[in-house]
């Protein structure tokens, strides 16, 4: 017997048998159900924990001699208190003779792939997933087209393999995305008891097609490309904010989305602090701004002000398009693609993310240590080093970015950057 609780309050007393929801250990396989014996909990109420770690409130009851288990809602979308209250309502209906699970089953009427995809995408959108549009496009184009009218529970592992394998022959990267999204769809459907078992839970890309095993890109801009981008980004016809943003990605080594969404609130003097909610790692990151970076920011502000006068909108975004929103990552990618020739973008063509890799490579070439270079671009440290080394390397990061700035400007000016130049730069900074 256990009493569930889902929040901790200072000084709060809990029962001796209390179980804190976030600390319930997921089972290795199958599912684990804990019944709640709190005085406010109705009979049969509890929480179901899946091997994935997801938690959902459930209500167990009997109807026509059959044991039923119905899902109330997922935690933490549903609080424990709200779920208990809802369970009381359901319990009253059940005691009056209603079989809620059977009613739900009839209402769902074994959804087709198209039906399930629509509900799945709606769930993603309600959850605030930025990738919802991309997921919808891929599933509609590659999954619903061929299997849309098939009942979801009738889709077999071999059906998915055949679909993904065929796509992988011509579009391996798209095939990898398709498989990932199909697996998400089936996992979602299983959690909601739309299907009894996930047919693709253990299906891996390397088991479908060797072409789908994505190898990390190693594209780095050479000195000619760096020179052409730095000197031409703002003059070849590319949208000026796009050109400035691309240069800032190259100069600072930060992610395209982080640069594109930069706000005045994040700039303090010569330091840019990227908040945790805007970073892939979920942790805040500081970026020292060298003189060239500050000049680019001033140029971006001037351009944003010009656009605001014409469109009557201006926000705190540095790269404000004049429509009340910042420039997008997609816009950076489109600009780099559309002006490949003018920017000297050689085969295989570089992308905005390759500018970040070029910065990281340039830091190493400028004599910056691996530890400091990784700190500059904001990679999360792993293992025992992350636990014991809490030094933030702020001074070292500034020196490193200034070294890279000098090297980049030498390249842009067409001057040699042999090791002698690198050492002299290091000595001047020391």
Cis bond leading into 76, ω under 30°?
yes
pLDDT at 420: 40
Task: Assign 5 to helix, strand or coil.
Answer: strand
In this structure, is residue 217 part of a structural domain?
no
For residue 421 the two structure tokens come to 């130049």
The total number of structural domains that make up the chain: 3
Distance of CA 275 to CAs 235, 283, 378, Å?
Answer: 32, 7, 12
What does DSSP say about strands 18-20 and 3-5: parallel, antiparallel, or unpaired?
A: parallel
> Same structural domain for residues 203 and 170?
yes
> Same structural domain for residues 338 and 313?
yes
- On the 0-12 / 13-18 / 19+ scale of CB atoms within 10 A, 347 is exposed
Task: Write down which residue in 106, 132, 152 finishes a domain.
Answer: 106
> Same structural domain for residues 168 and 265?
no
pLDDT at 43: 93
> Same structural domain for residues 308 and 391?
yes
Beta strands of 24-172 (E only): which ranges? 32-35, 45-49, 55-63, 66-75
Could you count the other beta carbons within 10 Å of the beta carbon of residue 261?
20
In this structure, is residue 241 part of a structural domain?
yes
> Same structural domain for residues 259 and 120?
no
Alpha helix ranges (H) inside 233-276: 240-252, 256-260
In which domain, by residue range, is 78 found?
A: 3-106
How far apart are alpha carbons 195 and 153 in whole angstroms? 6
In this structure, is residue 218 part of a structural domain?
no
Q: What phi and psi, each to the nearest 5 degrees, are found at residue 341? A: -60, -45
8 Å CB contact between 62 and 97:
no
> Same structural domain for residues 177 and 237?
no
> Same structural domain for residues 324 and 359?
yes
CATH of the domain at 142: 1.10.150.130
For residue 334 the two structure tokens come to 């489109």
> Same structural domain for residues 166 and 231?
no
Task: Write down which residue in 40, 72, 106 finishes a domain.
Answer: 106
Task: Assign 149 to helix, strand or coil.
Answer: coil
The per-residue pLDDT string of the chain (430 residues; one tens digit each, 9 = 90 and over) reads: 578 877 665 556 666 667 888 888 899 888 899 999 888 899 999 999 999 899 999 999 998 888 999 999 999 899 999 999 999 999 999 998 989 888 877 666 678 899 999 999 998 888 777 678 889 999 988 888 888 888 898 899 999 999 998 888 888 888 888 999 999 999 999 988 888 889 998 888 887 877 676 666 788 999 999 999 999 999 999 999 999 999 999 999 999 999 999 999 999 999 999 998 888 777 889 999 999 999 999 999 999 988 887 766 788 999 998 777 889 888 999 999 999 999 999 998 999 999 999 999 999 999 999 999 999 998 766 554 444 444 678 999 999 999 999 999 999 999 988 654 444 333 333 3
CATH of the domain at 306: 1.10.443.10
pLDDT at 16: 66
In this structure, is residue 409 part of a structural domain?
yes
Please choose, from the candidates 325, 328, 317, 321, the residue with its C-alpha nearest in 3D space to the C-alpha of residue 265: 317
> Same structural domain for residues 243 and 259?
yes
> Same structural domain for residues 380 and 408?
yes
For residue 369 the two structure tokens come to 């240590």
> Same structural domain for residues 375 and 343?
yes
What does DSSP say about strands 55-63 and 45-49: parallel, antiparallel, or unpaired?
A: antiparallel
In this structure, is residue 143 part of a structural domain?
yes
């Amino acid at each position: 017997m256990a009493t569930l609780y889902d929040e901790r309050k200072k000084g709060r007393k809990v029962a001796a048998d209390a179980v804190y929801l976030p600390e319930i250990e997921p089972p290795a396989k199958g599912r684990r159900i804990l019944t709640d014996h709190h005085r406010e909990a109705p009979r049969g109420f509890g929480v179901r924990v899946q091997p994935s770690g997801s938690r959902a409130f459930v209500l167990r009851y009997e109807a026509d001699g059959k044991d039923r288990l119905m899902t109330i809602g997922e935690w933490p979308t549903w609080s424990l208190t709200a779920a208990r209250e809802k369970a009381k309502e359901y319990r009253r209906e059940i005691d009056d003779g209603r079989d809620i699970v059977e009613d739900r089953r009839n209402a769902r009427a074994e959804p087709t792939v198209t039906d399930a995809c629509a509900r799945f995408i709606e769930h993603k959108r309600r959850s605030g997933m930025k990738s919802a549009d991309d997921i919808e496009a891929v599933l509609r184009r590659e999954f619903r087209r061929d299997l849309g009218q098939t009942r979801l529970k009738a889709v077999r592992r071999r059906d998915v393999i055949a679909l993904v394998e065929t796509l992988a022959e011509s579009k391996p990267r798209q095939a990898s995305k398709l498989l990932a999204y199909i697996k998400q769809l089936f996992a979602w459907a299983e959690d909601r008891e739309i299907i009894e078992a996930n047919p693709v839970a253990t299906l891996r890309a390397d088991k479908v097609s060797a072409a789908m095993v994505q190898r990390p890109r190693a594209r780095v801009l050479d000195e000619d490309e760096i020179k052409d981008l730095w000197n031409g980004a703002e003059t070849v016809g590319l949208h000026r904010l796009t050109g400035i943003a691309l240069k800032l990605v190259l100069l600072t080594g930060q992610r395209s989305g982080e640069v594109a969404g930069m706000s005045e609130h994040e700039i303090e003097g010569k330091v840019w602090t990227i908040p945790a909610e805007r970073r892939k790692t979920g942790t805040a990151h500081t970026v020292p701004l060298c003189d060239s970076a500050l000049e680019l920011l001033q140029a971006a502000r001037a351009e944003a002000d010009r656009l605001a006068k014409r469109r009557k909108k201006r926000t705190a975004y540095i790269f404000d398009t004049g429509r009340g929103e910042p420039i997008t990552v997609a816009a950076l990618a489109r600009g780099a693609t559309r002006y490949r020739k003018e920017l000297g973008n050689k085969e295989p063509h570089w992308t905005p993310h390759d500018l970040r890799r070029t910065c990281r490579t340039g830091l190493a070439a400028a004599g910056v240590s691996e530890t400091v270079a990784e700190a500059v671009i904001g990679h999360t440290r792993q293992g025992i080093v992350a636990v014991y080394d809490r030094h933030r390397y702020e001074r070292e990061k500034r020196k490193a970015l200034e070294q890279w700035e000098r090297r980049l400007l030498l390249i842009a000016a067409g001057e040699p950057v042999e090791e002698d130049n690198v050492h002299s730069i290091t000595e001047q900074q020391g």
